[in-house]
Structure 1
Amino acid sequence: MDRHLFQVLVVLTLSGLAFGSCKSQQMESNNGTLAGNLGLLEGNCMPGPGRPPCEPAPISGTIYITKPSERYQADLLIRKVDVSEDGLFSVKLEPGKYSVFVQDGDQITCTITNCPDQCYCLLVEIVDTKVTNQDVTINHATW
């Protein structure tokens, strides 16, 4: 009898682990992706005849993803993403709206503010299983 009870407990435990693993994979598979390039604009970008437009140069750095916010607040941080030297970044996120900030020297800054009904720093919306492309540019250029 004890052996039978032990076998039942083992089967139930393994079933629970398998179900939990599948549930975790299913939830992660519903995540969307935020992808883009981190770049730096610098130098004289004043438009003029015969001048090519300024293009951001890819840089390494750190992107901070928070709940929607007007300014960076550490208590709203969802993810911190290190960006490689080629400037490319990609991060899986649950569906929803987020603000994106960037490390610029010793400050965490907002590069663009969106104000549809309330102002938010670089507001992005992540959708189930989709890739949302959003480049982030630090602007040190002269205009």
Structure 2
Amino acid sequence: MKFYLAIFCSAILLVNFSCASRTSGQQGGIQEGIKGTVSVKEGNFMPGPDQKPGGNTGRVTRRTVYIYAVTTGAQAEGEGPLYKAIHQPLVAKAKADEKGFFQCKLAPGVYSVFTGEDGGMFFASLSNGKGELNPVEVFSKQVTVCNIVVNHKAVY
């Protein structure tokens, strides 16, 4: 019974959005959850004679990162990679700093990670064989790296 009470209390604490972006000079980090970098790619990424190797590689960016209970395409409104509504519980959110870095303390489990885009849209370009949108698994006492490339305005 004490075990379940401890899990319940931990879940309540997580609902308080225990995510934060790293600020300059801030030391340390989380012991369990996700961290990563948000970058944006816009424009032409097609190979060709006028493209320089390593030319248009994208740039890091500030974004709000939304972490939902694992979400399938059927639980989201819109046509990927942009969604206008997510019909799953919002677990947490974090803000990526000027270097694109974000981190968020999360309990072990599987989550769907989205970025906030213009017009109140949510971006997730990846899915797995189960139809889960941008799934990220957090393991006990580990930090999962979740690098996000926002590329809905890119041509490949």
Query: How high is the TM-score relative to the length of structure 1?
Result: 0.71
User: Taking every aligned residue pair, what percent have the same amino acid on both sides?
Assistant: 27
The answer for the alignment partner of 1:52 in structure 2 is: 53
The answer for the alignment partner of 1:38 in structure 2 is: 38
String of CA shifts for 1:39-85, please: whole Å, max 9, x gaps: 10012111224622442300001000000102252651000111111
Task: Say which SS state the counterpart of residue 81 (structure 1) adopts.
Answer: strand
String of CA shifts for 1:19-40, please: whole Å, max 9, x gaps: x9xx97xx99xx6220111010
Structure 1: gaps spanning 5 or more residues:
1-19
Task: Say which SS state the counterpart of residue 106 (structure 1) adopts.
Answer: helix
The answer for the alignment partner of 1:101 in structure 2 is: 114
Q: Which has the larger radius of gyration?
A: 1
CA RMSD of aligned residues (A): 2.7
Aligned residues: 118
Counterpart of 1:41, as a letter, is K
1:82 aligns with 2:84: no
Answer whether contact 1:35 1:90 (CA < 8 A) is retained.
yes
Give distance in 1, aligned partners of 2:126 and 2:44: 23
Answer whether contact 1:113 1:119 (CA < 8 A) is retained.
no
Answer whether contact 1:110 1:121 (CA < 8 A) is retained.
no
Relative to its length, the structure with more helix (as a share) is: 1
Give distance in 2, aligned partners of 1:58 and 1:39: 4
Counterpart of 1:35, as a letter, is K
Give distance in 1, aligned partners of 2:92 and 2:67: 5
